Chains A and B, each alone.
Chain A
Amino acid sequence: MSTPVLSVEGMTVQFPTRRGILTAVDDVSFSIKAGEVLGVVGESGAGKSMTGSAIIGLIEPPGRISSGQVFLHGERIDTLPAEKMRRVRGRKIGMIFQDPLTSLNPLYTVAEQLVETIRTHLPLSAADARKRAIGLLDDVGIPDASRRIDDYPHQFSGGMRQRVVIALALCADPDLVIADEPTTALDVSVQAQIIDVMKKLCAEKGAAIMLITHDMGVIAEIADRVAVMYAGRLAEIGPVRKVISDAAHPYTKGLMGSIPSLLSDAERLTQIPGSMPRLTAIPQGCPFNPRCSYAFDRCYIERPDPLPHDERRVACWLYDKEEALS
């Protein structure tokens, strides 16, 4: 098997604060293969976005990756000096943010922002960069791209702006695109179009996608594998069809139970009792134990690591072999 595009091993992100050290991402490991789409889901505050920012090296100080490693094509990137990491951003890893209305600089035309980014990473003349920029806008489905390229961001609608953002992220043909809630701020009618554009382009260019969202519907539609995060940790990671149709972790089960489905014959949506603990008050043992109806003694003492179970990895003592034997 070839080396994965991205491989994260035991990554932990911490923030020193006045009240002690907060652990926003706790010992997270996963990898993404070329052309693969990995969905990352979880409630807000579960550490999804922080994981994305950590991979691309953009955690706001004083936060930092306190342990673990990040590899891109087998090359370690979390320890790269700032200037080398900057060359990785945009060139090897593209990033798409949530709100297209605020992601673009209002004072520059779309052309200026595209050409600037292209020429930062590729040795092209201004004219060639502009041609490439028009091509990119065509690709993301902006009609009449050669004319609209000289417009300012405020002259585009929200959906069109997110297409521009995608074009900007794909400027230099990155191998990996991290999309942080790319459709959350958009109208429902536009969401599907944006997902289609992303999926199509990444497939054409062979780029892997890490799609961060809280929308299981989006995941089901586009992702190959899905990682479920809870309180900064991985709860479950595996193929989408497995995780959705046959969730193993009690939290994932709850999450799936809370999605309305036309096919399901359940009378009403189930909901998970309680709420996710704050980072300052994560309980001992499994962080999900206060809300878990399956919790037993061990869950209150030992913290489970994600272990292989049925084509996936699950961080739950229910699936520990020793438990099964006893």
Chain B
Amino acid sequence: MLAFILKRLAQSVLVMLVVALISFTMFRYVGDPVASLVSQEASIADQEQLRERLGLNDPIVEQFFRFVGNALQGQFGISYRLQQPVSELILSRLPATIELAFASATIALTLGIILGVFTALKPQSPVSGGVMAFSLVGVSLPTFLIGIALIYIFAVELQWLPSFGRGDVVDLGWWNTGLLSESGLRSIILPAITLSLFQMTLIMRLVRAEMLEVLRADYIKFARARGLTDRAVNFGHALKNTLVPVITITGLQLGSVIAFAIITETVFQWPGVGSLFINSVAVVDVPVMAAYLMFIALVFVVINLIVDILYYLVDPRLRVGGARGGH
């Protein structure tokens, strides 16, 4: 178990180093770090001095390791656009994005699995047909249009829910949350649904396909032949086996929820990391872009690690050694 985790950890570190290299290349060569820090009138000598002070004349390998060292301490430089440390900017907006991502991941997982299991168990039901047709439309619709449609229905026409922002935010010192106020809870509903829809349809289709596959398996037939109840067969035996392969893909899907949040955050003017990123891309605020890339990569790597460990815990074939006894 420990060796397995250590191996995965080593792979994760390698991936992060590659991403760091891309980030560093962007940081160092896209735009001129000096030009964006000094005023237009600064003399060549002043610029050269700053260049020296920032270590931009050092060997490139040394610069890269300094970049990685700083990154490890959470230092990504100063945002060109907002003239604030990037780490502060990201940290102040992180809670909004993480709360949104968690809310929509919960919706996507719960509904995705329930609907997937239902459509697999009752393929002939008209409800299943409706759900499948809906899922095809769901995959083809751009996320931002779904968001706009939801705003139009629930905020403009029905006026049930707010159309933008995060509502009242409670500051807990190390974290600010919108989940403790009524307006905050109401505000998160529409963005969370918007963000969850795409992942939900994917998870649903995946669960359905896997479940149909498992239901045809010999051990399910044997379980029925032993007179186990439908409940025990469908949920005890079939569902558990369905979830083993589903874990991997679902895990990665949840990682992309954070990336997809860019669009949802823009539609709903949600003050998260995604909208910070999109504003930075528009004006080529490289330090923020580089830091965001590292952040997303970290999210993916961590989720991958968790998925691997979960997989390991769920499937005894990985956990426990092979055949011991003879015939």
A interface residue numbers (CB < 8 A to B): 56, 58, 86-91, 94-95, 97, 99, 102-109, 116-117, 120-121, 142-143, 148, 151-152, 154-160, 165, 168-169, 171, 187, 189-190, 193
Closest chain A residue, CB of each to CB of B218: A102
- Docked-complex contact B327 and A189, CB < 8 angstroms: yes
A156–B327 Cα gap in the complex (Å)?
8
- Docked-complex contact A148 and B325, CB < 8 angstroms: yes
- Docked-complex contact A107 and B323, CB < 8 angstroms: no
Note all chain B residues with C-beta closer than 8 A to A143.
Answer: 325
Note all chain B residues with C-beta closer than 8 A to A154.
Answer: 316-317, 320, 322-323
> Which of B105-113, B153-161, B222-230, B271-279 sits within the interface?
B222-230
- Known A-B contacts A89-B227, A102-B217, A106-B241; A156 and B323 likewise in contact (beta carbons under 8 Å): yes
Note all chain B residues with C-beta closer than 8 A to A121.
Answer: 227
Contact with A along B190-230 (1 / 0, CB 8 A): 00000000000000000000000000011101111111111
29 A-B interface contacts by CB (under 8 A): A58-B225, A86-B228, A90-B226, A90-B228, A94-B225, A103-B218, A104-B219, A104-B222, A106-B219, A106-B241, A106-B315, A106-B317, A107-B240, A107-B241, A107-B314, A107-B315, A116-B232, A117-B227, A117-B228, A120-B228, A120-B229, A151-B320, A155-B320, A155-B321, A157-B325, A159-B327, A169-B226, A190-B327, A193-B327
A169–B221 Cα gap in the complex (Å)?
13
Near A by CB (< 8 A), chain B positions 231-273 give 232, 236-237, 240-241, 244
- Docked-complex contact B237 and A105, CB < 8 angstroms: yes
Task: A154-B323, A155-B324 given; name 5 further pairs at CB < 8 Å.
Answer: A95-B225, A106-B315, A116-B228, A120-B232, A155-B321
B interface residue numbers (CB < 8 A to A): 217-219, 221-230, 232, 236-237, 240-241, 244, 314-317, 320-327
- Docked-complex contact B327 and A90, CB < 8 angstroms: no
B319 CB to closest chain A CB, in angstroms?
Answer: 9
B81 CB to closest chain A CB, in angstroms?
Answer: 52
Note all chain A residues with C-beta closer than 8 A to B217.
Answer: 102
- Docked-complex contact A97 and B218, CB < 8 angstroms: yes
Note all chain A residues with C-beta closer than 8 A to B237.
Answer: 105, 108
- Known A-B contacts A116-B236, A193-B327; A86 and B227 likewise in contact (beta carbons under 8 Å): yes
